[in-house]
Chain A
Amino acid sequence: MRAALLHGFGDLRVGEIPDPVLGPEDVLVRITRVQPSVTEAMLIAGEDITLHDHLRERLAAGSPVQFAGHEFAAVIEELGTQVTGWSVGDRVTGVETIDCGTCPYCTDRRGVVCTRPQFLGFTLPGAFAEFLSLPAKNLVRLPEAVTAAQATAIQPLVGAIHAQSIADLRSGETVLVTGTGVMGLLAIQLARHHGAGLVVATGRSAAKRELAERLGADVVLDASGGDVTEAARDLTSGIGFDVVIETAGGAPSAGLAGADTMRTAVGAARYGGRIVAVSVLLDSTPLPLAQIRQKGLALLHPTSGREAGAPTVDAFELALGFVRRGIVDVDSLITHTLRGIDELPRAVEMTLAKNTYGAINPPQVELVGE
Chain B
Amino acid sequence: MRAGFVREPGRIDWIEAPAPGALGPGEVLIRPIVGGICGSDLPYFTRAEAFDGTPPPPGSPLHEIVGTVEASRDPDLPAGQMVVGWAGNNDALAGLVVTAGSDVVACPGMDPAHAVVAQPLACALAVLERLITPWEGKHVAVLGLGPIGLLFTHLLHQGGAGRVTGVDPVARLDDLRRFGVDEYVPTSAEEWARDLAEERPAVVIEVVGHQFTTLGAAIEGVAPWGEVFYFGVPETDSYEISMAAMLRKHLTLQSGTTALRRQHFLNEALGYLRSYPDLAPALITDRFPVSSAQEAYTHAASQSAGVGKVVVEF
Contact = CB atoms under 8 A, between A and B. Distances in A.
Nearest to A280: B247
B252 A301 contact: yes
Contacts of A304: 250
B250 A296 contact: no
7 contacts: A50-B247, A271-B259, A277-B247, A287-B238, A289-B238, A297-B254, A303-B225
Given A113-B224, A290-B234, A51 B248 contact: yes
A286 B239 contact: yes
Interface residues of A, number: 39
Given A272-B256, A287-B240, A288-B237, 11 more contacts: A113-B223, A272-B260, A283-B243, A287-B239, A290-B238, A291-B237, A293-B230, A296-B255, A298-B132, A300-B252, A303-B250
B198 interface: yes
A58 to B, nearest CB: 16
B244 A52 contact: yes
Contacts of B273: none
Given A113-B224, A287-B238, A293-B257, A104 B248 contact: no
Contacts, number: 109
A290 B246 CA distance: 18
Contacts of A303: 225, 250
Interface size class of B (residues with CB under 8 A): 35 or more
B282 interface: no
B242 interface: yes
The 4 closest A-B pairs by CB, nearest first: A296-B256, A293-B255, A50-B244, A286-B238
Contacts of B215: 289
A295 interface: yes
Chain B at the A interface: mostly helix, strand, loop or mixed?
A: loop
A290 B257 CA distance: 11
A103 interface: yes
Contacts of A282: 243
B240 A284 contact: yes
Contact of B257 (A281, A294, A302): A294
Nearest to B226: A113
Interface in A10-61: 48-52
Interface string B228-269: 001001101111111111111111111111011000000000
Contacts of B243: 49-50, 277, 280-285, 287
Contact of A299 (B199, B245, B253): B253
B256 A286 contact: no
A292 interface: yes
B256 A285 contact: no
Given A113-B225, A292-B255, A287 B241 contact: yes
B131 to A, nearest CB: 10
B247 A284 contact: no
Interface in B148-204: 198-199
Contacts of A283: 242-245
A285 B247 CA distance: 12
A290 B234 CA distance: 6
A37 to B, nearest CB: 13
A296 B259 contact: yes
B236 to A, nearest CB: 7
Contacts of B244: 48-52, 283
A115 interface: yes
Contacts of A285: 240-241, 243
B233 A103 contact: no
Contacts of B234: 289-290, 293
Contacts of B130: 296, 298
Nearest to A299: B253
B247 A290 contact: no
A115 B260 CA distance: 37
Nearest to B255: A293
Nearest to A52: B244
Interface in B76-129: none
